[in-house]
Amino acid sequence: QNDVRFELPQAFYMRVSMGLAINEIDRETRAIEFYNLLSSFDFMSSTPTLFNAGTLRPQLSSCYLTTIPDDLGGIYSAMRDNALLSKYAGGLGNDWTPVRGLGSHIKGTNGKSQGVVPFLKVANDTAVAVNQGGKRKGAVCAYLETWHIDIEEFLDMRKNTGDDRRRTHDMNTANWIPDLFMKRVAEDGDWTLFSPEETPDLHDLVGLEFETAYAAYEEKAARGDIKNTRTLPANDLWRKMLGMLFETGHPWVTFKDPCNLRSPQQHVGVVHSSNLCTEITLNTSKDEIAVCNLGSVNLPQHITDGELDVEKLKQTITTAMRMLDNVIEYNYYSVPQARNSNLKHRPVGLGIMGFQDALYKMRLPYSTEEAVQFADTSMETVSYYTIEASSDLAVERGSYDSYQGSLWSQGILPIDSISILKKARGQYLQQDESQTLDWESLRDKIKSQGMRNSNTMAIAPTATISNICGVSQSIEPTYQNLFVKSNLSGEFTVINPYMVADLKALNLWDEVMINDLKYYDGSLQSIDRVPEDLKSLYTTAFEMDARWLIEAASRRQKWIDQGQSLNLYICLLYTSPSPR
């Protein structure tokens, strides 16, 4: 009545569980197994799965990745795909690199192209118009490679000043950066911009092959054989990229080469972009729209007496992977390219959430070597049992169609693929490669059993499902110990329950403390009567050195076959310019 619908938690979790079990042989038993996992908060499916399981149109997938072709019909067909995918609660990542740049020649009209930016404005307005069925805001992220001739204008798209017809205030943007650009920055070299119709193979090339082709195009440009080109110091462009990141939060920083060189599926395509939240790394082309189906393990639910409960974690992951694989069969696909891709490769993305809560339960401050080590070993354990669960599913259901030739089929696991990246990066890769589990036996198991899923892990932001479970988001540190957040459901006051419990235990939780927390925006650092160990434990995101977040992420990444959605919190209030 009056657009207010009530669904009690028990019915909610049972609807989702029954939807995910609908194609199982013993549906009732599996539905109960899935229900027990969801209702206990040990694992939570992603938001679209929760919205749409058990409905007439079960669009359960979180992310869709598309490549936009360089022709007018293809561009507007991609806009239509965006609208249909967004309508049923999918987040979008669009690869715009193939679209020719400003000033390029158009054969059909003998005119000049207006470049990528005007089309991105249309994509922005499409996302606003189609708001995921009224359940959450439509969301899309546009990716552009750093060598594209329109890159500088692309950097400005989120600014609040300038020509509003060339601004996208509602759409996310991201840089898709080849390693060669970062090498040029490190070496204080020049960088050349090209239009993709004149350098068509750069879009698909990665690593050392990209470097060779790029250098050859630079020579052509120097001879005047390529017209629509421009050269500038790499550091100038890098500074502008960072400047826009500070000013507008966009474009995000994502890296093309490691996403491809460590991809299990590099034998059948190229990763041209990530998704809306930068954790999905799947191949896209004009024939394939990549799809990923997500869910997250609630890490603090698997901490017992200050230790990681490995046996419970294994059970959770085994059931969770079955649920995620079931999504692929049961899912409603609004465009055929998405269906074809998903059924052929069957990628899923199991992640973790509540990492900060797990540290609280273990009494470990985030900014410590012990916390970094826990990030490493906990993700190693998750990775081991996730890969094993997918391999065991292959025994029951068969390997995915494009398994032969993949890194999996060659016995190359995520921890092994670091060596491929090393060959391309050389001295520029610093990566811890320590391991604690028996990976050799798992390699043997995969060689004999195969894999059910081309990709198995991705750490998503878990913005909504972590709220449902009452834990911190994803791998994030505590944003603030006291703050108000808002979404389409309203405004919510969030307070750190671990901090409150500790302050109560010390008889420090009183009106004065509450007022002090409000005054200091949830920070304990300036409240004298709080002990130092609690100040250290409850340090918030803007109060810690971002290098701890990067180190913890690096340790996790060696175990993951996709990526992590990682935020860095930099408080300009407390930093001064570093001398040059």
Any bridge partners for residue 253, and if so which? 175
Nearest to 251 by CA among 143, 148, 170, 128: 143
The DSSP letter of residue 229 is E
Contacts of 347 (CB under 8 A, 6+ apart): 282, 290, 291, 292, 293, 453, 454, 455, 456, 562
Catalytic residue among 172, 228, 260, 275: 275
321 contacts 267 by C-beta, under 8 angstroms: no
Query: What is the sign, positive or negative, of the torsion defined by CA atoms of 125, 130, 134, 139?
Result: negative
Compute the distance between CA of residue 240 and CA of residue 242 in angstroms, rounded to an integer.
5
Residue 401: CB atoms within 10 Å: 12
Any bridge partners for residue 105, and if so which? 112
Catalytic residue among 33, 218, 279, 288: 279
How far from the centroid of its chain's Cα atoms is residue 494's Cα? 24
Contacts of 514 (CB under 8 A, 6+ apart): none
* Active site (annotated) includes residue 275: yes
* Active site (annotated) includes residue 532: no
According to DSSP, the β-strands at 91-95 and 140-145 are: parallel
230: its two tokens: 């421009």
* Active site (annotated) includes residue 277: yes
DSSP secondary structure of 152-203: HHHHTTT-SSS-GGG--SSSEEEEEE-HHHHHHHHTT-EEEEE-TTTSGGGG
Compute the distance between CA of residue 110 and CA of residue 383 in angstroms, rounded to an integer.
54
Catalytic residue among 277, 331, 455, 481: 277
Catalytic residue IDs: 275, 277, 279
